C-alpha cells in the first residue's frame, strides 16, 4: 500500500507572514521534493481532510479562547491587526503575533486538526497502519493560550479524540521536536492514559523553558510524563542512547495501543532556532526506531511533521522521517556538508548523566527503570 499522507491545501495558509520564522514555503519545498523522489499513486497517496468546527475545538479549548483567536487572526489576515491590543491579550504570546501579509492562520489551524481527526478515524479501520499529517504537531498550544507558533494543539486533540470516541486507554506520544512540548505536557500531566515522552534541547538553553527531568506528572499521571533534555550540540549518539535506555524499555512496559509522534527538522545541526546536532540520515533513524516501537501496537502510528527552520533541510529531513517509518529505501542526500564535530557526539557523557538522573525520578513508577 502507498504511504498515506494527509495534507489539505488550506494548510498552506498557516503562514505568520513576512519577518516570522514560520512560513508556508516549507510545504511547497517538501511537496516539490517528494514528487522528485517518489511516484504519487504508487509510492504515496495524498488524502484531504475537512476542518474541525467550534464544537470539535471545545474538546481541547475554552470557548473564550476559540472566539478570541478566530477574530484576531481574521483581522490579521485582512491587515487590520492592532499589535498593542494583541500584546495585552491573555490568549496569545508575542511569537504568535503575525508579521506582514500573514495567511488565514486560524482557518488553517482548523484544517490541521481536521487532518488529525481523519488520521484517527482511518487508523481505526483495517486498511491503515501508518499515517502522516503534514503541517501537524502544534505542541505548544494550550487550552486557552497560543504560543510558540501554535494556535490549536492537534496532538492533544488526537489523543483526546481517540480516548473519547474510540475508548483508548494507553496512548504513547513521542515528541522529537527540539523544543519541549509544553502544551501537550500540560494537557496530559495528570492523565495516566497518555504516556508523554519528550526528547528536546535542554530547557535552560531554549524556549519554552520547560521539560526538565523532574517534571514527571501529577496525581494519577505521576510517572507518565518523561522529559529527556539534551545539551546543545547533542547528535545521534545521544538520541540513540535515550531511545535504547528510556524509550524502548518504558514503551514495552506501557504497552501502548497506538503511537502519536511529532517532530520535524529543528534538531538539525544547522537549524536557525536550535542548537542540536542531527544529520538528515539521523531523521531516517528516528523513523526507523518509531517503526520498530510500533510493533508493540500492531504497527499503528500517526506521525505529524511541520517544524524546521532551515529551508535546506526541511524537504530531505521530512522525507527521511517518512522513509524510516515507512521502510522506504531511497537515497536522500545531506543538503549541506556536515561539520566534523557532529560526526561524533560531543555531549554523550552529559546525556548518560541525564538518563541516570531521569531513572532516579522514574524508578518508583516503572519497573524497567529500577
- Contact call for residues 216 and 303 (beta carbons, < 8 A): no
Helix, strand or coil, per DSSP, at residue 357: helix
Residues in the chain: 370
CA angle 58, 92, 173 (to 5 degrees): 55
Distance CA(226)–CA(158), nearest Å, equals 19
Spatial neighbors of 84 by CB under 8 A, at least 6 apart, are none
b/e string for 304-325 if b means 16 or more Cβ within 10 A? Answer: bbbbbbbebbbbbbbbbbbbbb
Closest residue by Cα to residue 14 from 154, 88, 108, 152: 108
The verdict on whether 20 is a catalytic residue reads no
Distance CA(148)–CA(93), nearest Å, equals 8
Q: Is 46 exposed, middle or buried, given 0-12, 13-18 or 19+ CB atoms closer than 10 A?
A: middle
C-alpha torsion angle, residues 204, 206, 212, 217 (rounded to 10): 140
Distance CA(76)–CA(78), nearest Å, equals 5
Rg (CA), the chain: 19
- 194-201 and 44-47: which strand pairing? unpaired
Phi, psi dihedrals of residue 86, rounded to the nearest 5°: -65, -40
- Contact call for residues 154 and 115 (beta carbons, < 8 A): yes
Distance CA(281)–CA(262), nearest Å, equals 17
Which member of 139, 140, 179, 200 is catalytic?
140
**H or E element at residue 184:** helix 182-187
Distance CA(276)–CA(7), nearest Å, equals 28
The catalytic residues are 140
Amino acid at each position: 500500500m502507498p504511504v498515506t499522507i494527509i495534507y489539505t491545501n488550506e494548510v498552506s495558509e498557516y503562514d505568520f507572514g513576512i519577518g516570522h520564522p514560520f512560513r508556508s514555503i516549507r510545504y511547497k519545498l517538501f511537496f516539490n521534493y517528494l514528487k522528485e523522489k517518489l511516484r504519487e499513486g504508487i509510492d504515496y497517496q495524498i488524502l484531504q481532510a475537512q476542518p474541525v468546527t467550534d464544537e470539535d475545538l471545545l474538546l481541547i479549548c475554552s470557548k473564550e479562547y476559540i472566539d478570541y483567536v478566530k477574530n484576531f487572526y481574521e483581522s490579521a489576515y485582512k491587515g487590520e491587526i492592532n499589535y498593542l491590543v494583541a500584546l495585552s491579550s491573555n490568549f496569545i504570546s508575542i511569537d504568535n503575533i503575525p508579521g506582514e501579509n500573514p495567511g488565514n492562520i486560524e482557518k488553517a489551524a482548523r484544517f490541521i486538526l481536521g487532518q488529525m481527526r481523519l488520521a484517527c478515524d482511518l487508523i481505526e479501520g483495517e486498511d491503515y497502519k501508518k499515517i502522516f499529517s503534514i503541517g501537524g504537531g502544534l505542541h505548544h498550544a494550550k487550552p486557552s493560550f497560543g504560543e510558540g507558533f501554535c494556535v490549536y494543539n492537534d496532538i492533544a486533540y488526537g489523543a483526546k479524540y481517540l480516548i473519547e470516541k474510540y475508548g483508548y486507554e494507553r496512548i504513547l506520544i513521542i515528541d522529537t521536536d527540539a523544543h519541549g512540548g509544553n502544551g501537550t505536557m500540560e494537557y496530559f500531566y495528570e492523565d495516566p492514559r497518555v504516556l508523554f515522552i519528550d526528547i528536546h534541547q535542554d530547557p535552560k538553553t531554549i524556549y519554552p523553558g520547560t521539560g526538565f527531568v523532574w517534571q514527571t506528572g501529577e496525581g494519577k499521571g505521576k510517572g507518565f510524563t518523561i522529559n529527556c533534555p539534551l545539551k546543545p550540540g547533542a547528535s545521534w549518539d545521544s538520541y540513540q542512547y535515550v531511545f535504547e535506555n528510556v524509550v524502548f524499555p518504558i514503551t514495552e512496559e506501557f504497552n501502548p495501543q497506538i503511537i502519536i509522534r511529532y517532530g520535524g527538522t529543528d534538531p538539525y545541526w544547522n537549524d536557525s532556532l536550535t542548537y542540536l546536532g542531527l544529520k538528515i540520515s539521523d531523521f531516517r533513524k528516528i523513523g526507523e526506531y518509531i517503526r520498530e516501537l510500533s510493533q508493540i501496537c500492531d504497527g499503528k502510528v500517526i506521525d505529524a511533521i511541520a517544524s524546521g527552520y532551515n529551508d535546506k533541510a526541511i524537504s530531505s529531513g521530512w522525507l527521511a522521517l517518512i522513509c524510516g517509518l515507512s521502510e522506504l529505501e531511497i537515497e536522500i542526500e545531506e543538503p549541506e556538508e556536515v561539520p566534523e564535530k557532529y560526526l561524533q557526539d560531543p555531549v554523550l557523557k552529559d546525556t548518560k548523566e541525564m538518563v541516570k538522573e531521569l531513572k532516579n525520578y522514574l524508578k518508583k513508577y516503572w519497573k524497567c527503570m529500577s
